[in-house]
Amino acid sequence: MDSLLTQDEISFKKDVRDFVKKELLPHVEEWEEREQYAVESVKKFADYGLLGILVPPEYGGLGGTTMEYLIASIEIAKASVSLAAIFGSPAGIFTDAILKFGTEEQRKQYVPPAIAGDKIACFALTEPAAGSDASKVETTAVKDGDEWVINGSKAFITAGNVGDVIMVFASIDRSLGAKGITAFLVEKDNPGFSVGKVERLLGLHASSAAELFFKDCRVPASAMVGEPGKGLRIAFSSLDLGRIHCAGQAIGLADAALEATLAYTAEREQFGRPVGEFQGVQWMLADMSIQLDASRLLTYRAARMADAGKRYTAEAAKAKLHASEMAQQLATKAVQLHGGYGCTKDMPVERYYRDAKLIEIYEGTSEIHREVIARSLRS
The amino acid that residue 220 corresponds to is P
CATH: 3.40.50.720, 1.10.540.10, 2.60.40.10, 3.30.70.1290. Which one for 2-115?
1.10.540.10
Q: Which residues are catalytic?
A: 363
Q: Which is it for the CA torsion 45, 118, 306, 367, positive or negative?
A: positive
CATH 2.160.20.10 fits 232-378, yes or no: no
Q: Which letter, b or e, does each residue of 86-114 get, where b requires 16 or more Cβ atoms within 10 Å of its Cβ?
A: bbbbbbbbbbbbbbebbeeebbebbbbbb
pLDDT of residue 175: 85
Residues 6+ apart with CB under 8 A from 163: 120, 121, 122, 157, 188
SS3 273: strand
Cα distance between residue 67 and residue 88, in whole Å: 14
pLDDT for 204 equals: 95
Reply yes or no on whether the pLDDT at 133 is more than 80: no
- Is domain 121-229 classified as CATH 2.40.110.10? yes
- Tell me the β-bridge partners of 120: none
| Mean pLDDT (whole number) for 64-71 | 97
241-292, pLDDT tens digit by residue? 999 999 999 999 999 999 999 999 999 888 989 999 899 999 999 999 999 9
Question: Which residues neighbour 359 within 8 Å (Cβ) at sequence distance 6 or greater?
Answer: 81, 246, 249, 250, 253, 323, 324, 327, 328
pLDDT, tens only, 1-31: 778 999 999 999 999 999 999 999 999 999 9
Handedness of CA 191, 197, 203, 207 (dihedral sign): positive
By the 10 Å C-beta count (0-12 exposed, 13-18 middle, 19+ buried), 3 is classed as exposed
Reported confidence tier of residue 172, pLDDT bands at 50, 70, 90: very high
Q: What are the backbone dihedrals phi and psi of residue 128, each rounded to the nearest 5 degrees, phi first?
A: -55, -35
pLDDT at 41 over 80: yes
- DSSP assignment letter at 256: H
Classify residue 138 as exposed, middle or buried by CB count within 10 Å of its CB (0-12, 13-18, 19+). Answer: middle
Q: Is the pLDDT of residue 177 over 90?
A: no
- Spatial separation of the C-alpha atoms in residues 167 and 159, rounded to whole Å: 12
State how far the Cα of 146 lies from the Cα of 148, in Å rounded to an integer: 7
pLDDT at 363: 84
Burial class (CB in 10 A: 0-12, 13-18, 19+), 316: buried
Q: How far apart are CA 249 and CA 88, in angstroms?
A: 10
CA distance 330 to 250: 10
Query: Which pLDDT band holds residue 178 (cuts at 50, 70, 90)?
Result: confident
Q: In percent, how much of the chain has pLDDT > 70?
A: 100
**What average pLDDT does range 190-219 have in this prediction?**
95
Q: Please say if the pLDDT value at position 128 is more than 80.
A: yes
Domain boundaries of the chain, sorted by first residue: 2-115, 121-229, 232-378
- Residue 146 DSSP label: T
Phi, psi of 189 (to 5 degrees): -90, 5
CB-CB contact of 120 with 164 (8 Å): yes
| Average pLDDT over the chain, rounded to an integer | 94
Which helix or strand (DSSP H or E) is residue 143 part of?
A: strand 140-144
Length of the chain measured in residues: 379
Q: How confident is the model at residue 221 (pLDDT cuts 50, 70, 90)?
A: very high
Per-residue pLDDT band at 373 (split at 50, 70, 90): very high
* pLDDT bucket at 196, cuts 50 / 70 / 90: very high
Can you give the pLDDT at residue 242?
A: 93
What angle in degrees, to the nearest 10, is found between the helix axes of 81-91 and 66-79?
150
Give the C-alpha separation, 312 to 237, whole Å: 10
Residue 132 pLDDT more than 80? Answer: no
* pLDDT for position 308: 96
H helical segments located in 1-128? 7-19, 28-34, 39-47, 66-79, 81-91, 93-101, 104-115
Range 37-63 average pLDDT: 95
How much is the pLDDT for 106? 96
Residue 129 pLDDT level (bands cut at 50, 70, 90): confident
Q: Residues with Cβ < 8 Å from 243, sequence gap 6 or more? A: 302, 316, 317, 319, 320, 363, 364, 369
Percent of the chain with pLDDT over 90: 87
Question: pLDDT (tens digit, 9 = 90+) per residue, 87-120?
Answer: 988 888 899 999 999 999 999 999 999 999 999 9
Q: What is the pLDDT of residues 329-364, one digit of tens each?
A: 999 999 999 999 899 998 999 999 999 999 999 888
Res 135: pLDDT: 76
Please give the pLDDT value at position 136: 82
In what helix (H) or strand (E) does residue 245 lie, and over which residues does it extend?
A: helix 231-267
Strand-pair partners of 182 = 170
